[in-house]
Amino acid sequence: MSDSLAALGLRLAVPRGALFEETLDLLDRVGIDTRAVRDNDRRLLFEDAGIITMRPSDVPTYVEAGAADLGITGKDVLMEQSERSLYELADLGYGACRMVVASTEGEDPAADALRRLGVVRIATKYPRIATRHFLATGRQAEIVEIKGSVELAPLTGLVDAIVDLTATGTTLRENRLVVREEIARSTARLIANPVADKLKAAAIDALTSRIAG
């Protein structure tokens, strides 16, 4: 394996944030040199390494459009953007977390709202996942999309419950919220642009096999 993805004719979208360090560690283990990325916190494009860095939620956009041949992002992002034309090549196993419904401690305000009003108000950064979940379970939900700290919404009475991602549950507990339901489990996934997967099959298969090994 070459010491750079660019030498293989590949470009990989790497997620900043919670998955960043473990993704770089994975690339190091399979022989991809990530020193340039580690040494430049503010730089986003590393042409010589064949790496672009970005928000996890942007990875599917770049991969679908062909601006990157491959990408790594969480399963939660792929679930929220399920309409995108992508191939999911591998479950990478790290970045484990759960998508959950949570509400304030004590009697469940969401269950109470459903009993009294027949509808529950849900705050989330994942409106499509939340909508699908409540539809699939036969409950009417009004979805309120939140960009910032979603935990604040039930504490102020804005909503009855939240749908959010949690790894350890610490943030929920610190805000007096408890998990009521688990929707799905999420880990980091390797994805590919469908055209690149055909035209660059040998290089992509070699990298995927190395990661799987």
pLDDT at 1 over 70: no
DSSP, collapsed to helix, strand or coil, labels residue 14 as strand
Q: Which two tokens stand for residue 121?
A: 């108000």
152-160 average pLDDT score? 97
Residue pair 114/101 in contact (Cβ under 8 Å)? The answer is: no
pLDDT at 213 over 80: no
H-helix or E-strand containing 178?
Answer: strand 177-186
130-143 average pLDDT score? 97
User: Which residues, 6+ apart, have CB-to-CB distance to 41 below 8 Å?
Assistant: none
First and final C-alpha spacing in the chain = 13
Cα–Cα distances (Å) from 165 to 136, 201, 207, in that order, read 19, 33, 29
**Angle at the Cα of 170 (from 20 to 95), degrees rounded to 5?**
25
Query: pLDDT digits over 170-208, tens only?
Result: 999 999 999 999 999 999 999 999 999 999 999 999 999
Query: pLDDT digits over 57-94, tens only?
Result: 999 999 999 999 999 999 999 999 999 999 999 999 99
Query: pLDDT digits over 3-49, tens only?
Result: 789 988 999 999 999 999 999 999 999 999 999 999 998 899 999 99
Please tell me the predicted confidence (pLDDT) of residue 94: 97
Residue pair 137/101 in contact (Cβ under 8 Å)? The answer is: no
Q: Which pTM does this prediction carry?
A: 0.92
DSSP, collapsed to helix, strand or coil, labels residue 85 as coil
Please tell me the predicted confidence (pLDDT) of residue 80: 98
Alpha-carbon gap, residue 71 to 163, rounded angstroms: 25
User: Which residues, 6+ apart, have CB-to-CB distance to 172 below 8 Å?
Assistant: 102, 151, 166, 178, 179
Give 212's pLDDT tier (boundaries 50, 70, 90): confident
DSSP, collapsed to helix, strand or coil, labels residue 90 as strand
Q: Which domains does the chain have, with CATH numbers?
A: 6-95+187-212 (3.40.190.10), 97-185 (3.40.190.10)
Alpha-carbon gap, residue 146 to 128, rounded angstroms: 13
Cα Rg of the chain (Å, integer) = 20
Which DSSP letter does residue 106 get? Answer: S
Q: Which two tokens stand for residue 146?
A: 């939140």
